[in-house]
Amino acid sequence: MKTKRITLLILGIIIGYASIAQEGSTHLKNYWQIGFGLGELPTGGSFKPSITIGYHFNEKVYAGIIYQFKDEISRGSSSFNAKSTDLEGLSSSSEDVAKRFLFQVRYTPIKNGPFLSGGFVFNGRDTETMRFDDRTRQIYNEPHSGTIKIQQTRPAGWGLALGLGYQYNFKNGFSTGFEWTPAWGQYPSPLYQFGGTANLSSEAQANLKKRMDDGFNSSVTNMYKVFHIGVAYRFQ
């Protein structure tokens, strides 16, 4: 928690300093850029520090990398994957989010406009653990009494990615921006482990897997991807 507060404070100071500086774009040819940011919006327990480094060849072309550190998230009752089970009584949901990596080339066709981002994205193995309270539930037309624990794992993998972003450059060398670059349509197949006192039958487990697979493949957040929001500084 202390690390998260310090990171948010640093981000706030840098963004505040940049916002009061003289505005306007600057010449971007032959400039290095280093940055710091987040890979998750800092809401609902989400937090994922990230670093960036890259090179501006000219006003339109930039090449670089984004590296995001692993994190732990407590999603509570807001878990989309837990909702796809159609089970009532979610007591807790937590997620171990692995590292992310993106090697990208950005193309900005219009000065001060948004950019296209393309490249290779890698996501490590993510695991979400969902716990449901002690009650009787109907699953696959069968009554199951007790607690249920479901562990859903997205295997590590990589893909070709294409996305959009925006970066605003201040004359003092600072910039702020964001981007979302996913590997479109590249959904991995989740792995499951079931536990708890309910002792689910094989049919009930298969039914839950089917529900969760359908929900998993309907959410764009489950594709291999990088989301980034942050600040950067450029220099020669």
Task: Give the chain's mean pLDDT.
Answer: 86
pLDDT per position as a tens digit, 152-166: 999 999 999 999 999
The pLDDT value given to residue 46 = 65
| Percent above pLDDT 70 for the chain | 85
42 band by pLDDT with thresholds 50, 70 and 90: low
pLDDT per position as a tens digit, 124-148: 999 999 999 999 999 988 899 999 9
Lookup result for tokens 């916002």: 19
> Mean pLDDT over residues 160-181, rounded?
94
Side chain identity, residue 66: I
115 vs 137: CA distance, rounded Å: 49
**What are 68's two structure tokens?**
């995001």
Query: What is each CA distance from 157 to 187, 193, 212, 216, 232, in whole angstroms?
Result: 10, 20, 20, 16, 28
The pLDDT value given to residue 13 = 45
**Backbone angles phi and psi of 5, in degrees to 5:** -65, -40
| Beta strands 115-123 and 157-169, pairing class | antiparallel
Q: Side by side, which strands form the sheet with 191-195?
A: 71-74, 90-97, 126-139, 142-154, 191-195
Identify the structural domains of the chain with CATH numbers, from first to last: 2-235 (2.40.160.170)
The pLDDT value given to residue 25 = 46
Query: With 50 as the cut, is the pLDDT of residue 192 above it?
Result: yes
Query: With 80 as the cut, is the pLDDT of residue 108 above it?
Result: yes
23 band by pLDDT with thresholds 50, 70 and 90: very low
Between residues 80 and 164, which one has the greater pLDDT? 164
Query: With 50 as the cut, is the pLDDT of residue 3 above it?
Result: no
Query: With 80 as the cut, is the pLDDT of residue 44 above it?
Result: no
